[in-house]
Structure 1
Amino acid sequence: MMEHLTLIMRYLMANLMLAFDGSATVDFPEVAQRAILSLGAGVEIGDALLDEDRVCHLLVDETQDTSPGQYKLLLCLVQAWEPDDGRSIFMCGDPYQSIYLFRGATVGQFIETEKQGRFGPKEMEVYHLRVNFRSSPAIVEWNNKIYSELFAGPTSSFVPSVPFRSNPGQVTVEALLTPLAEGVRVVSLIQDAFKVDPSQSVAILVRARSHLKFILPALKQAGIQASGTDIDPIAESDPVAEVVSMIKALWHQADKTSWLALLRSAFVGLSWEDTLAVSRGHSVIPAALRMPEVLASLTPEGNARVMRLTEALDGLEKASRGDELAWKARALWMGLGGMSTVDQTELGDVKTVFKLLGTHTATGDLDNPQAFFNALANLYASPKAGVVQIMTLHKAKGLEFGTVIIPSLQKNGGRDDTPLFHWRTINGRFFLAPNMGTEDDMSPESRLFNYLGSRVKADHHDELERLGYVGTTRPISNLHLLACKDIEDEDKGSSNSLLGALKRVLANEFVGVDGDADQLEVVGGVPSKARLDADHFVELPADSFIPAATNEAVPTENELHDELREGEGNDYRAKVEGIVYHRFVEIIAKDGLVNWPVSKLSGKGQAVAALMRREGYPIKDIPAGRDRVLRLLTTTLESEKGRWILSAHDQSGQEVQVSGYRNGRWVHRYLDRTFVADGAYWIPDWKTAECPEGMDVEAFLRAITSRYQQKMEEYRAAVIDAGITLPVKPCLYLPAVDRFLEL
């Protein structure tokens, strides 16, 4: 089994490398692995360390959360250091705050380094920081008592803290009978905290968003504003939900639910009665909106709102970009006044949805609707300003708050599926065991898999204890722990809950509290909705420029990129070579010639090849294409005219965009480079074409001039229209023959 698994993993690794190579990208683990290999990986000194050995001091913060790969990288960096060479290592960490096991962090490495007092060739002095500068004496003493017992053991290095502050504080551990009662109790604790100090910070820390099910409604009913990061799914925000319904409606005319939601949105604002009348008119809502009998059944206000919507929809259909879903959705939302229905935070969320829609509509319509809606489900709303902060215990690490409330101790965290295999390093040896399922429970592989699984489970339990420690050390003055349990039930709490991890030390701490769940009143009836006025009109700013006689001529994507089509011809390789060359001369001009000696190009072959792969250049032809691009760049840097173009000049620019409306169509151009020199405004254009074999160079130059004369005249006219008063001089530079043509 292991032989087969090893073979499969080798094939998977080989295919991963091919995928990296094909896309000219790598992921973060691969970057770290290549760094380790370049440094020598402990076998011999790597070329990277021989070439770059300026690191004299290492400072590693949060060392307890480093992964084995990160630890190995650090060891490679110091492998050639000497004990007394003046170089130093400083590590800072707390093994009892290691809570990133899911990212591969292994606290054991830090603990072992602490025990040995050595890292690589360097001996290290160990200092235990005892003073707590954050919490009140009451909280510090409570944490000392609880965690000295919880972390007790022959290998424990837990050191009790000494409080620096002298402010008053309290710790409560409360048991409530129902989640509703817990929600009410959280509200009461927050209100009590603000009565004592209205300016203090208050935080609710949980392991998962699902633990807030009864708490968020209680806060809302009490009028307590709360902000949270990665708490509220973006699609559950009212403005975003309305935009998503609009997108679905535009995408599918027969999506009745989405069309009805659009009618009820704040920027359309149809009443319940009018919406019901429309829904009864026809099963396809866009058809119902145009039926005379339906319009006759609406209220006068309803008629006005429907007329406003249908006029906006008709305008979209007439527009030249009406077949682009992303543009159409944004245009309809803004045209109906959507901007007036959101605040600044909500506007950011709406823009996020439009941006996501744009990435999923490369062909104009949704390429993969399910992928778009799945991606939307993984986004969270931007946190709003609030007096109470809500976050996960992991995100709270390193922060402090006046009052901290940790509710729902009894609730479990997420459960992971049984993995395909477990792996672990034990006593310096690496073990990997595949999951054999139920086929052979007594096979060596299964027994090893179960053993390693038990070790992994123990690691998770230990980390859960440390997560509790992180949470209870966040407050300055007040700490409140809540759990839904019977005060007499000491066995409550599974092994995957904070209560289960801490119950042996919290058993005698709980105090029963009677929460009044009746305070949560559910108000029935049809909800009201804020909406724009029926006659709301979106006005353009007074200084907006509207081209005359445009005839709805909004430039299409094809028109925007007609310049690319013009210059690419039928030779795709030549087009890509030109793109890569343009990219490099742009970088050279920005960095300055002084930073780009010709010799520097010798180390850029890999970067050129990567850019060519990214643009779709045939893999087998990349070496030849790369060499040609490097040859063109070398000629440019060695050429008097090439260096003159790239030199620093007044009013210089790169990829300057110039747009204009000419002869009934949009003209959209990018100028490679512009600058002022010798009393003129120069517009040089790079052209990477090769002189065909057997053709006279002068004849080739005449052909190039003829080909690009009109285009360069358009450039001249465009910059003059933009307000340039100096003489305008378009010109071409051809690095393949090192010639400069002033047109």
Structure 2
Amino acid sequence: MSEAARVAGDLLAADAAARSRALELGSFIVEAPAGAGKTELLTQRYLRLLSCVEAPEEIVAITFTNKAAGEMASRILESLQRAAAGERPEAAHKRITFDLARAALAAGAERSWNLLEHPARLRITTIDALCMNLARQMPLLSRFGSQPRLAEEASRHYAEAARRTLALIAEDGDAGALADTVAAALRHLDNDAVRLGLLLAEMLARRDQWLRHALAAPSRAEAEDGFAQLIGRELESAAAAIDARRQAALMPAARYAAANLPPESPLAPLLEWTVPLAPGADALPQWRALAALLLTAEGEPRKAWNKNLGLPPGKESDTHKKTLAALAQELAADEAAALARVRELPAPRYTDEEWLTVEALGALLKVAAAQLWTVFAEAGETDFIEVASRALQALGTSDAPTDLALALDYRIRHLLVDEFQDTSPTQVELLERLTAGWTMDEKAGAGRTLFAVGDPMQSIYRFRKADVGLFLRVADFGIGGLPLERLQLARNNRSAPAVVDWINARFADIFPPQDSVFEGAIRYRAFAATRPAAACAGVFVHPLVVAKDMPGDAAEVIEAERILEVIDAARRDDPQGRIAVLVRARSHLDALVATLRRQRPALRFQAVEIEALRSRQTIQDLLSLARALHHRGDRVHWLAILRAPWCGLTLADLHALAGDDHRSTVWQLLGDDARVARLSPDGRRRLLHLRGVVGEALAHQGRQRPRRWLESTWLGLGGGACLREDAAVADARAFLELVDRLDAAGRFSLEELERETARLYAAPDAAAGDTLQFMTVHKAKGLEFETVIVPGLHRAVGGGGGGEQKLMRWEEVAFAGTDERLVAAPIRGKGRGDGASLHDYLRLLERERAANEDQRTLYVAATRAIRALHLVGVACPRNDGTLAAPAASFLELLWPALSAKFDEAPLQEAVADAGAGAQFEPRLLRLVDPAIAELLRAGAEVENLPLPRVPTEAVGDGGGAGGDAALAADVGTLVHGYLEMIARDGLAPWPLSRVESLLPAMRVWLGQQGHAEAAVRRGAREAQNALRATLESVAGRWVLGDHDEAVAEWAVSVADGEAIATQVIDRSFVADGARWIIDYKTTKVGTGTTLRQHAERYREQLERYCALFRADGLPLRMAVFYTATGDLLELLPSGEASGS
């Protein structure tokens, strides 16, 4: 047996023992790595407990999301249903579940539970729902009274509370002390009230992290004790690197160097150095001096010393230099880093000014929290932080539990907590109060259990206040007085062995060597694969090396095209397999989505909260319309609605309207008939249409709800007719529904609309299925895919690594076990010195914890893969020609393993169309005529756009009723419009699947023309069938294909005496040395008439078109194309035989 097989066997044996132990009646904390079957274990545990309680309500299972709660409940009920049906499974772990479910059913039958008929008796809830329920049960103690609404977006409340807090500076009398507090905080920030307000609002959004600290208000002595403990902990690493032996050897040289330098020298603290330095805060000056003596400014071991370091030329200096050189050469990289770290440590005492600032800011934050409570009360809203806080109040303390706590203690006998690695301090405190007294005496605690399960290696939600250190602390010390036995699962049921082996090998090096509550660090826990080996399984690296001077967008296109190649290969290998592209940030998908839409429009995908609606033209136009209607002086947005597709004024017409008057509002200029007369005839018609619709809207301002007012104006302008596809319809609907929600909540304002629109994302394409999905790593947690692609390895993500400024930072410092001290550090004020500050040091700790979380984020991405994991990254040579990974990137974490592959990779050339954006020429997209809401058309030269065309053809030859004729005309317009788009875009972006998706947009457009619902459905089907028949026919694809001098809907004007006659030619191009003139007909030819006979009716019209081009000298050929059948009928000159 190989060593790898032996290790895997040991892991699986330990896993089996842990699973068996987890089903016993005890309290446990279980580490379940990715793919370990955590939900199955929770289901088994729940079923096991059902067989030993008097009522199912005695068991409470807590998850973090409604989806997870629903999945757990579904698993439990399915297990009970299978057991009731006697469906004993084959798989060993499923048989365990079956037996446990059967025992649970027997217990239920004995006690008349009827769980299958009453599944609501299963108490499976989210932690937020639990908190709300607790606060609701004790309204007086929780101080909620009547239940407030949960605010969808509480940031406005935080900003208002911050504003009210700062306004206290103007208060007198009893509020004078508060005014002094505000003034002190403003002085510290150089009287920057705007900055202080923003920092206060940000702190209020995270008050569950600091409010209990602010209320505790530690004394200066207690805080400095904690401060010293922090420094001492850091110095322990330096003392391990420079141990007593090394220190003894360094002492003579250090004293000699210090003696040769002035008293203010950094080395002066070493002048009297005679005993080894202790790892304590009092010795920090000596440790700093030692770092200066041995290390360069970059933290590397020195190779030379001179008189500036107290070692001038001379024999005695040479002896000391040799000692220093020998010791410096001994230092390993991690030892040098530990010593260099000393330089980051601040002085271990507060100055008087610093402590006064701590007190002032602490007091200010408490006032801001109180102001927030009043803001919440006035608005009748609250946030989840407040709900959790009130739930804790409703439970009381462990020393003084409330009646509710005692009642829950009586009713709850077993707690199960899922995803325990994602808990916050408030949530752990809630669990402590729920379990308080469970172990006060053996009799009271008998039979009560807490079961927590999670994977600390998947703790990636620090931005939601999750703290992985809590998992480690609870595993070591339990919750409250309740000890938990630690169990470790070690099997992976998800990934192929090749993937598991790679993950085990790589992440053992990436993760820290040991757990650390203080650093938020988790060592790697290996697991063993249980799946059989699979073909084409494994981890595949796609290194892309680009020139240093290649533009970033060009490199992004290269990466995007490589991703598309990987997707194509994965679909060939496993046509039904699910593929996921996982990124760290949404913006990392921008280039891929753009490339895919440009090159592969037929490739459907689901993007989960990836594409921001704010950047889409439909939403921008709607926002501009909303702003213009609400503010007549908003010149930018008034000009925007004149430029929008429903009006589409040219730049020349806009300049004629407003170019010489910057004082009047645009609405005033629209009412100036003399000014309007300056516009082109087309521009006047467009502007007058908009003026009429908007004038009517402004006359009704304030008389309608915002959505109805905005939507009716938008539709009147022709906004609905500007939507070409169902995705645009969905976007517009999402925006208008947002207006509705804001209005219903009493929050509608332009500022709120802007803010909330930025949070809207395009809905996933439901028709795309789940075979190709784009999402962030955080969204993918808990999911699995046959193929996972992780692009952008080289990209760093800023802002989440503790780098953001905070008004105040706190750190809980553990002394012995769970005894803690609190350290507080105010933000550095302007002109407060350049040395290391406590705030900067705590900020550094946060960055390091974020870096540890980045390692876990990469682990989460890698462990989503079932069969194949593809890693895609870009590197460029440095000045010396070598390659290196960017800092703070996934590639930096993987560089030791991947660098050789990048070194071997060829240099990539820029993709031919990568710079297409540089040659992009904007085109005005607009309705042909806003008064006759026709489909969008885009012309290279907007002045040559055709005038309104009124279709004269009918669906049948029988004349029909007026309604049928109108529908036929509009169907013709619809088909003509789409054929123009296809001709303009080319055939590649128009697969039949895209035609299928057009039906909703077609129905919307036809409905806006005033047709009844039945006619709308019939007309949309006819238009869709015509497009399908055209694209499926050889003739249709030839007509719409790529030809020389190809044009569509070509408006040609000629002088006829004093009048100008304009002819609109549906399609024209040069092929086989002749110019083709083609007219489209959506007509369905009736019985008794052949296509040839029907086509002959249009001979005169086509010959009139041909006459316009006889002077060009090219042979002329004319034809009629029937969209309903895909037939092309050529009409030869009179007297010649005709053929098709």
TM-score by length of 2: 0.43
Q: Is the 8 A contact 2:495 2:867 kept in 1?
A: yes
In structure 2, the CA distance between the partners of 1:405 and 1:55, relative to structure 1 (3 Å rule), is same
8 Å contact kept, 2:731–2:762:
yes
What's the counterpart of residue 248 of structure 1?
Answer: 627
- Other structure's SS at 2:487 match: coil
Distance 1:490 1:122, change over 3 A: farther
Correspondence 1:218 to 2:602: no
Alignment counterpart, residue 732 of structure 2, candidates 350, 373, 382: 350
From 141, 162, 179, the counterpart of 2:529: 162
AA of the residue aligned to 1:517: A
2:437 to 70, 76, 80: 80
String of CA shifts for 1:5-40, please: whole Å, max 9, x gaps.
Answer: 443344334434444444454432222223223323
* Letter of the 1:464 counterpart: D
Q: Distance in 1 between matches of 2:413 and 2:811?
A: 33
Counterpart check, 1:43 vs 2:399: yes
Matching residue's letter, 2:540: T
The aligned residue for residue 395 of structure 1 is: 779
Question: Does 2:603 align with 1:228?
Answer: no
- Paired with 1:227 and 1:31, the residues of 2 have a C-alpha distance of 35
Structure 1 counterpart of 2:461, from 100, 107, 114: 100
Q: Is the aligned partner of 1:409 residue 2:799?
A: no
Q: Give distance in 1, aligned partners of 2:715 and 2:564.
A: 39
Answering whether residue 352 of structure 2 is matched by residue 28 of structure 1, we say no
AA in 1 matched with 2:500: V
Q: Where does residue 280 of structure 1 map in the other structure?
A: 656
In 1, are the aligned partners of 2:571 and 2:577 still within 8 Å (CA)?
Answer: yes
State yes or no: 1:503 paired with 2:895: yes
Matched AA of 1:65: D
**Alignment of structure 1 residues 684-699 onto 2, 5 Å:** none
What whole-Å deviation, never above 9, does each CA across 1:602-650 have from its counterpart, x for those lacking one? Answer: xxxxxxxxxxxxxxxxxxxxxxxxxxxxxxxxxxxxxxxxxxxxxxxxx
Shifted more, 307-316 versus 524-533: the winner is 524-533
Deviation at 1:154, TM superposition (A): 4.2
CA displacement, residues 549-583 of structure 1 (integer Å, 9 cap, x when unaligned): xxxxxxxxxxxxxxxxxxxxxxxxxxxxxxxxxxx
Aligned 8 A contact 1:60 1:91 in 2: yes
**Corresponding residue SS for 1:422:** strand
Distance 2:364 2:380 in 1: 24
Shift of 1:100: 0.9
Map 1:488-567 onto structure 2 (within 5 A): 489=882, 491-494=884-887, 496-508=888-900, 510=902, 512=905, 514-520=907-913, 522=916, 524-527=920-923, 529=925, 531=927, 535-536=932-933, 538=1008
Q: What CA distance in whole angstroms lies between the structure 2 residues aligned with 1:543 and 1:337?
A: 19
The DSSP-based 3-state class of the residue aligned with 1:135 is: coil
The alpha carbon displacement at 1:73 in A equals 0.7
> Equivalents in 2 of 1:303, 1:4: separation in Å?
64
* Matching residue of 1:470: 860
2: distance between equivalents of 1:106 and 1:173?
A: 32
Tell me what 2:1128 maps to: none
Distance in 2 (alpha carbons) for counterparts of 1:370 and 1:152: 45
What corresponds to 1:419 in structure 2?
806
**Local SS of the residue matching 2:571:** helix
Matches within 5 A, 1:368-383: 369-383=750-764
Residues 676 and 684 of structure 2 are in contact (CA less than 8 Å); yes or no, is this contact kept in structure 1?
no
Q: Which residue of 2 aligns with 1:237?
A: 616
Q: Distance in 2 between matches of 1:125 and 1:261?
A: 65
Name the SS for the 1:79 alignment partner. Answer: coil
Matched, 1:60 2:453: no
CA drift of 1:436 comes to 5.5
Q: CA deviation at 1:361?
A: 7.9
Aligned to 2:248: none
Matched residues in 1 for 2:374 and 2:638: separation?
Answer: 46
Cα offsets for 1:657-680 (capped at 9, x unmatched): xxxxxxxxxxxxxxxxxxxxxxxx
Q: Per-residue displacement from partner, 1:302-323 (whole Å, max 9, x unpaired)?
A: 6765554344334435547568
Q: Which moved more, 1:43-52 or 1:89-98?
A: 43-52
2:494–2:866 contact (8 Å) kept in structure 1:
yes
Q: Deviation at 1:95?
A: 0.7
User: Please, which moves more after superposition, 276-285 or 205-214?
Assistant: 276-285
Contact 2:697 2:713 in 1 (8 A): yes
* Structure with the bigger percentage of helix: 2
User: In 2 relative to 1, CA 68–502 (structure 1 residues): closer, same or farther, beyond 3 Å?
Assistant: farther
Of 247-256 and 188-197, more deviation after overlay is shown by 247-256
Which of 338, 346, 358 lines up with 2:719 in the alignment?
338
Amino acid across the alignment from 2:593:
L
CA distance in 2, matches of 1:359, 1:249: 21
Gaps of 5+ in 2: 1-354, 516-522, 547-554, 660-664, 934-1006, 1015-1140
When residues 110 and 282 of structure 1 are mapped into structure 2, their CA distance, relative to the original with a 3 A threshold, is closer
Pair 357,81 (structure 1): closer, same or farther in 2 beyond 3 Å: same
Instruction: Establish whether residue 110 from structure 1 lines up as the match of residue 494 from structure 2.
Output: no
Alpha-carbon distance in 2 for matches of 1:285, 1:431: 60
Q: Label 1:502 to 1:433 Cα distance change in 2 as closer, same or farther (>3 A).
A: farther
Contact 2:606–2:773 under 8 Å retained in 1: yes
Alpha-carbon separation, structure 2, partners of 1:363 and 1:203: 37
Query: Amino acid of the residue matched to residue 811 of structure 2?
Result: R
User: For the structure 1 residues 440 and 256, does the alpha-carbon distance in structure 2 shift closer, same or farther, using more than 3 Å as the test?
Assistant: closer
- Report the Cα distance in structure 1 between the residues aligned to 2:576 and 2:672, rounded to whole angstroms: 56
Check whether the contact 1:219–1:225 (CA below 8 A) recurs between aligned residues: no
Residues in 2 aligned to 1:12 and 1:304: alpha-carbon distance in whole angstroms: 56
Pick from 861, 864, 870: which aligns with 1:480?
A: 870
| Aligned 8 A contact 2:361 2:826 in 1 | no
Paired with 2:844 and 2:922, the residues of 1 have a C-alpha distance of 54
Give 1:252 shift: 4.5
Residues 66 and 105 in structure 1, CA contact (< 8 A), matched pair in contact too: yes
Q: CA deviation at 1:434?
A: 1.6
CA apart distance, 1:383? 3.3
What letter matches 2:598 in structure 1?
Q
Q: Once the 2 structures are TM-superposed, how far is the Cα of residue 509 of structure 1 from its aligned partner?
A: 5.5
Q: Is the 8 A contact 1:253 1:285 kept in 2?
A: yes
- 1:245 alignment partner, SS class: helix
Distance 2:736 2:365 in 1: 40
* Aligned-partner SS, 1:518: coil
In structure 2, how many angstroms separate the alpha carbons of the residues matched to 1:363 and 1:150? 48
Q: 1:432 to 1:352 in 2, by over 3 A?
A: farther
CA radius of gyration, larger in: 2
TM-score normalised by the chain length of structure 1: 0.63
The answer to whether the 8 Å contact 2:508/2:524 transfers is no
Q: How many corresponding residue pairs?
A: 535
Code of the residue aligned with 1:70 in structure 2: it is Q
Amino acid at match of 2:533: S
In 1, Cα distance between equivalents of 2:672 and 2:571: 55
Q: 1:269 to 1:136 in 2, by over 3 A?
A: farther
Partner deviation per Cα, 1:397-447 (whole Å, 9 max, x = no partner): 11122322222222221223232332222223142322362766699xx75
Cα distance in 1 for residues equivalent to 2:892 and 2:399:
45
Give the % identical residues: 28
C-alpha distance in 1 between matches for 2:670 and 2:400: 77
Partners of 2:748 and 2:454 in 1: CA distance: 47
Match for residue 562 of structure 2 among 167, 185, 191: 185
Once the 2 structures are TM-superposed, how far is the Cα of residue 470 of structure 1 from its aligned partner?
0.6
Mean alpha-carbon deviation: is it higher for 103-112 or for 150-159? Answer: 150-159
Instruction: Determine if contact 1:57/1:88 at 8 Å carries over to the other structure.
Output: yes
Change (3 A) 1:533 1:227: farther
Instruction: Say if 1:221 and 1:520, in contact at 8 Å, map to a contact too.
Output: no
